[in-house]
Structure 1
């Protein structure tokens, strides 16, 4: 069984704040809002993120980071830029809508043009105008839905990569070629690896293939993914 790690306030010095997902402690970057999985909740992982993604933040002092964390968690200054603390139901509602939109393969604009107006009207009629005001706090713009989907996809990818690294056996990779609705060639990759004594297979990535599709081109795409 994978070890469940606990949050410690010492991670603040690396530019992270506590984030709880499904009752498990995770770490959220104060600079880019990326949420790292529980498996990455250790000094070497969080410091590596800071050094690679935010090298200019290495010299930030602990007092400045603590102040930024307090503002991030308590004062709700980031909602102006589309970010909400995890305690806010509006954030979870926004992600839930984005998840269902991408699952049903609907355009991102459907949230702002159809779902939100319908929800506001139903809530106003069934519960009252005060409840409608709370629904209006849920951000469902086209850009927000796009960002939510990108965040969820990146988070799933990070979790799979963490599981692959923790696998006691070498992972195997299966590649396939397909085409999208625009008839562009896509390279699809699946990974099979061991987790908790069982074999697990997950979708890893999908990247557009160039005009040429030699073995060298395919390998370059795979190498680029693992390098990132």
Structure 2
């Protein structure tokens, strides 16, 4: 937008802020840019779900390539992965294999 139109908008719509200095508007802009948004709040959850989906897909692909029945994933793969996670991560209660599709 043209600076002249911005100034006109400021005078017409926000007359109480016409005397504010540049620092005020810069802090206002910073607060606006740093506010929490839905994308930022769910970004880590979304990434974790994407990683779980990718892992589930890779395991399904390995099962399909080995020409075994798909139920082997429930009977063998999930318990094996759970055991590996127990060994590597002491806080297994924080990690739930039920989240994997």
TM-score by length of 2: 0.46
Higher helix share: 2
TM-score by length of 1: 0.22
The structure with the larger Rg is 2
Q: Which has the higher contact order (CA 8 A, sep 6+)?
A: 2
